[in-house]
Amino acid sequence: MRVKFVDLERQYHEIKPEIDSAIQAVISMSAFVKGEFVESFERNFADYLGVKYCVGVGSGTDALAIALRALEIDPWKEVIVPANSFIATSEAVTMAGAKPVFVDCHPETYNIDHRKLEKAFTDYTEAIIPVHLYGQPADMSPILKFAKKWNLYVIEDAAQAHGAIYSFRNVGTLGDIGCFSFYPAKNLGAYGDGGAIVTNDSEIAREARMYADHGRFSKYEHEFQGVNSRLDGIQAAVLDVKLRHLEAWILRRRAIAKIYDEGLMDVVQTPKVHHSVKHVYHLYVIKTERREALREFLSEAGIETGIHYPAPLPLLKAYEYMNHKAEEFPASCALAERALSLPIHGSMSDSEAEYVVKKVKEFFNDSKRENREA
């Protein structure tokens, strides 16, 4: 059996008539930039999340960078970010002219460790970007309390967490701004790049929309210099279709995760889920000392896996100039050495998940037998 890590081809064929019709409608109306399809998706995504404003942009990275610009974060000020994330989180900070300050992840949830925020705070700190990593919400209550104490902005990086819930609220709606990516492999993915900024603040929404469209609110009235980062009509139409299926796909992901939890809990370290959240399992990440050997074994069995992420952000060459050491981020380093992402997606079958469980168990049973015979 072959088990794909993500199967976008299967997903497409499941909703092909809807997708084809939506794309054809955009082409027929030549509504490629802005227009009613973008407006429709922005409205529907805002309603889904329970937030007042949604601004479609060109990518999740742009969403973060534009959010920082909309909040007028001063250049050379500091923004706290997790050490364990994709580089877009910290990259957006430097794109906005500020400095990322890295905080280690929690050893169980892998999200930013709120217990280490105070140590990262300085007189230059202006914001914090918690990432809802792998689809599990960060522990927002202490983060929001910390932000309120020091009058900091909170920008949620929800690129992997469409539909995730923290204490009965959708992620992306808890801080000042929420940022989403619609990269094709996301739980809600376009057929190319795309992103969104969501907020309940009308002035932030206005600034973000203007900045993403050359600093203008009408065609030739440019109030400041912005960028060109707009969600296009075809991507918006595709996302509008997929949004109708998102909750069903989340249920499928959670069902697959349950099969993994029950089958692997005594074999490897399975995800620890905070009691007050709804995890949407963009990724299902296990930990094992024998990651490379297990990954090779699963590949030979036709099972695709991933590694998210092979190095903490502050130890990447891109941040070499900051002179960070591995011992500053013990939890992130331990995860980077042991994390393995198993296949999971909204079109995956129980039988595929059960085959993955079977093969992981087989690997460790063979290893035990080899150790006994040695």
Domain boundaries of the chain, sorted by first residue: 8-103+111-243, 246-373
pLDDT tens-digit map of 281-318: 999 999 999 999 999 999 999 999 999 999 999 999 99
Q: Per-residue confidence at 374, pLDDT binned at 50, 70, 90?
A: very low
CATH classification code of 246-373 = 3.90.1150.10
DSSP string computed for 61-129: HHHHHHHHHHTTPPTT-EEEEESSS-THHHHHHHHTT-EEEEEPBPTTT-SB-GGGHHHH--TTEEEE-
What was the pLDDT predicted at 10?
A: 98
CA distance 362 to 366: 6
Q: Tell whether the model's pLDDT for residue 56 goes beyond 60.
A: yes
The C-alpha angle with vertex 371 and arms to 370 and 374, in degrees rounded to 5, equals 85
Q: Which residues partner with 228 through β-bridges?
A: 213
Phi, psi of 216 (to 5 degrees): -125, 155
What was the pLDDT predicted at 275?
A: 83
pTM equals 0.96
Q: CA dist 193 to 159, 181, 276, 285, Å?
A: 12, 8, 31, 24
The C-alpha angle with vertex 166 and arms to 163 and 168, in degrees rounded to 5, equals 85
Once rounded to an integer, what is the mean pLDDT over residues 76-89?
A: 97
Candidates 1.10.30.50, 3.40.640.10, 3.30.470.30, 3.40.50.1100; CATH matching 8-103+111-243:
3.40.640.10
The DSSP H or E segment spanning 180 is strand 177-181
Q: Tell whether the model's pLDDT for residue 372 goes beyond 90.
A: no
